[in-house]
Amino acid sequence: MRAEPCILNPVSELMTARLAVLISGNGSNLQALIDAIRYRALDAEIVVVASNRKDAFGLQRATKAGIPTRYHPLKPYRDAGKDRQTYDADLARLLNEYRPDWVVLAGWMHILSDVFLRHFPYRVVNLHPALPGQFPGANAVAEALAAFQAGAIKKTGAMVHLVPDEEVDAGPVIASEEVPIYPHDTVETLANRIHQTEHGLLVQALRRLIEGD
């Protein structure tokens, strides 16, 4: 099942869309975007990849592809007694240096406040390993597997949605896709299958946003 998209602020198809990608880890979805752009399946340019973790492998993926990277850790802010709003405001300023059309959260493990979001109204795109309305938060895969084992659900999935406000893993859905759960699944095997679905789903969703389809 694929949800009907809610397309806002499309970038003209005559322009190559400028993407800022935020990551916290391995960056496999970032790699899917890099590959899609390389093979001209997505009319976009990744203008910066930013991470809150210095050891995020996704930064190496970006460097290998010749994409500028930025490291923006939260800990120095906490150590200095600064709040999340200050951190988010500085992150927004950092990204604005690159003039992105869209900000893509591809495994970004911070909840962004309105202080950040107001700089990019309806231009922040999030990827979440669950179907719309199900299992918000960082433990979506484990919670879906537990619900399956309890007989509450038979499938899970992935979705891409816009982030208009601070509500977690909610907002206008651009695309979603179901992923089956099997009796022998572990959190790891289910997560791997969801990730494989996410790679194509994110590219598809961004294409629809960029083309205004």
Catalytic annotation on 128?
yes
Q: CB–CB of 13/32 below 8 Å?
A: no
- How crowded is residue 164: how many other Cβ atoms within 10 Å of its Cβ? 16
55 φ, ψ to 5°? -95, 10
Compute the distance between CA of residue 160 and CA of residue 200 in angstroms, rounded to an integer. 11
Inter-axis angle of helices 187-211 and 140-149, nearest 10: 120
Handedness of CA 195, 1, 134, 179 (dihedral sign): negative
Q: Of the listed 72, 128, 161, 195, which one is catalytic? A: 128
Active site amino acids: 128
